[in-house]
Amino acid sequence: MSTFDYIMHVGICVADLDRAVRFYRDGLGFKEAGGLEIAGEPTATMLELGSDMELHAVYLDRDGFRIELLHYPTPGTVGEAKPRPMNQLGLTHFAVRVADLDEAIAQVERFGGAAVEGTRIQNEEFGSDLLYVTDPDGVRFELVQVAVDPTR
């Protein structure tokens, strides 16, 4: 028996909640699973954002994976909307298997994301075609076109 029951979600801070929901729901096929709006204490203490903090969150599910989109009307967001370096400590990316890489790239771009220039490769060993893209806020994820998933 494990002390930890299960993974609940992965949080993604976004500048524009409506835009992010459209991207993940309409662009990537996630389904809305709920949301919350909360302000002040005791959440402000946990988030270390000050007592006037305000949070709007939306939960989205896909393939047993849940993301929590976090939008902070107060105090707002910080940082640039660009991909983090892959060797920066912390979460670097998530991966999505796709049937057609070029079609997936076009879908990402239609919903406000972008291809990360210079990252497309073909891996002959796995028969795969891969590319990093970002959501509208610069969160990096990998698109993987492969006949057989080597991780399964």
* Domains of the chain with CATH codes: 10-74 (3.10.180.10), 94-146 (3.10.180.10)
Half-sphere exposure in the Cβ direction for 31 (13 Å, CA): 6
CA distances from 68 to 15, 38, 58, 115 (A): 13, 14, 6, 23
Q: Supply the pTM of this predicted model.
A: 0.90
pLDDT per residue over 82-95, tens digit each?
899 999 989 999 99
pLDDT at 1 over 70: no
pLDDT classification of 62: cutoffs 50, 70, 90: very high
Handedness of CA 72, 74, 76, 77 (dihedral sign): negative
pLDDT (tens digit per residue) in 24-35: 999 999 999 999
| Dist CA 83 CA 115 (whole Å) | 10
* Predicted confidence band of residue 39 (pLDDT cuts 50, 70, 90): very high
